[in-house]
Amino acid sequence: MRVVIDLHACQQAGSGASGAALTLVQQLIRTAGENTILVALSNQFPQQLVALRAAFAPWLPAERIVVYDTPAPDGSACLAAAIVLIRDNAIANLDPDLVFRPDGIEQLGTLGTLTPHDAKPRAVGHTDDAADALWQTFTQAMPASRSAPQPNGLPPLAYVAAPGEVDMALVAQLARHYRVVLVGGVQLHALPDGAPAVTLRDGCWFEQHGAGFTRIVYQVGNRPACSFMPALCARHPGLVLLDDVHLGQLFDNAGPNAFGAALLASHGYQALLARQRSGHAEALRQFPTGWPLLEQACGVVVRSEAMRELGRHWYGAAGDRWRVLAGADDASLPPLLEAIETYSVHSPRARYRALTAALGALGLPHDPRSPLLLEVAKAIAANQPSQAPRQLLVDISALAESDLKTGIQRVVRSIVLALIKTPPPGFRVEPVYGNGGERRYRYARRFTCNMLGETTLARDDLLEDLPVEHRPGDIFLGLDLVAHCTMQNLALLADMRHHGIAVYFVVYDLLPLLMPQAFPYGTDRYFREYLGAIAELGDGLVCISRAVADELCDWLARHRAPAAAPLRIGYFHMGADLASSAPSFGLPGNAAEVLDAVAARPTLLMVGTLEPRKGHAQALAAFELLWARGVDVNLVLVGKAGWLVDRLVRQMERHPELHRRLFWLPGASDEMLGKLYASASGLLAASVGEGFGLPLIESAQHRLPIVARNLTVFREIGGEHAYYFDGEQPQQLAAALERWLELFRNGNAPPSGAMPWLSWAQSAEQLLDTILQQRWHRTLPGT
Q: Given the rule CB under 8 A, which residues bind another protein?
A: 156, 158, 162-163, 181, 184, 202-204, 207-213, 224-225, 227-228, 231-232, 234, 254, 256, 356-357, 359-361, 363-369, 373-374, 376-378, 380-382, 384, 439-440, 466-469
Q: Which residues contact 681 (CB under 8 A, 6 or more apart)?
A: 602, 603, 604, 704, 705, 744
Q: How far is the CB of 355 from another protein (least distance, A)?
A: 9
Please report, in angstroms and rounded to a whole number, the separation of the first and last CA atoms in the chain.
Answer: 34
Task: Report CA-CA distances (Å) from 501 to 111, 273, 472.
Answer: 32, 28, 5
H helices within 746-781, ranges in order?
760-772
DSSP alpha helix (H) spans, 388-437:
397-401, 407-421
551: exposed, middle or buried (Cβ count in 10 Å: 0-12, 13-18, 19+):
buried
For another protein, give the closer residue by CB, 232 or 549.
232
Closest CA to 66 of 385, 362, 343: 385
Q: Which residue from 493, 490, 497 is spatially nearest to 530, judged by alpha carbons?
A: 490
- Least Å distance, CB 498 to another protein, is 17
Nearer to another protein, 274 or 373 (CB): 373
As measured in angstroms, the least distance from the Cβ of 364 to another protein is: 6
Under DSSP, is residue 674 helix (H, G, I), strand (E, B) or coil? helix
Q: Which is nearer to another protein, 202 or 726 (CB)?
A: 202
State the nearest-atom distance from the C-beta of 358 to another protein, in Å: 9
Sign of CA dihedral 15, 18, 23, 28: positive
Specify the 3-state DSSP secondary structure of 329: coil
How far is CA 636 from each of CA 308, 591, 594, 665, rounded to the nearest angstrom? 61, 12, 9, 8
Nearer to another protein, 37 or 258 (CB): 258
Cβ atoms of residues 111 and 7 within 8 Å: no
**Helix 371-383 vs helix 77-92: angle between axes, to the nearest 10 degrees?**
10
Please list, in sequence order, all residues whose beta carbon lies within 8 angstroms of the beta carbon of residue 717, skipping any fewer than 6 positions away. Answer: 545, 573, 692, 693, 696, 697, 755
The smaller minimum CB distance to another protein, of residues 363 and 727, is found at 363
Answer whether 255's CB lies under 8 Å from 459's CB.
Answer: no
Torsion of CA 733, 735, 737, 743, to 10 degrees: -150
Biggest CA-to-CA distance, the chain: 109
Cα angle at 637 between 746 and 704, to 5 degrees?
35
Which CB sits closer to another protein, 21 or 359?
A: 359
CA atoms 362, 365, 367, 371: torsion sign:
negative
Nearer to another protein, 349 or 613 (CB): 349
Nearest distance from residue 42's CB to another protein, in Å? 19
Q: How far is the CB of 439 from another protein (least distance, A)?
A: 6
- Measured from the CB atom, the residue of 375 and 738 that comes closer to another protein is 375
Q: Which is nearer to another protein, 440 or 640 (CB)?
A: 440
Q: Is the dihedral of CA 685, 690, 695, 697 positive or negative?
A: positive
Minimum CB distance to another protein smaller for 254 or for 758: 254
> At its nearest, how many Å lie between another protein and the CB of residue 585?
25
User: Least Å distance between CB 197 and another protein?
Assistant: 15
The H or E element spanning position 750 is none
Rounded distance, CA 141 to CA 139, Å? 5
- Give the nearest distance from C-beta 366 to another protein in angstroms: 3
User: Which CB atom, from 189 or from 369, has the smaller least distance to another protein?
Assistant: 369
CA–CA distance, 261 with 59 (Å, rounded to integer): 42
Find the shortest distance in angstroms from Cβ 79 to another protein: 13
**What's the closest the beta carbon of residue 469 comes to another protein, in angstroms?**
5
The identity of residue 260, as a single letter, is G
Smallest distance, another protein to C-beta of residue 683, A: 45
Beta partners for residue 2, in sequence order: 36
Residue placing its CB nearer to another protein in the complex, 158 or 392: 158
| Rounded distance between C-alpha atoms, residue 171 and residue 198, angstroms | 8
- Judged by beta carbon, residue 360 or residue 727, the one nearer another protein is 360
State how far the Cα of 234 lies from the Cα of 160, in Å rounded to an integer: 13
Query: With contact defined as beta carbons under 8 Å apart, do 224 and 250 qualify?
Result: yes
Q: At closest approach, how far in Å is the CB of 156 from another protein?
A: 6
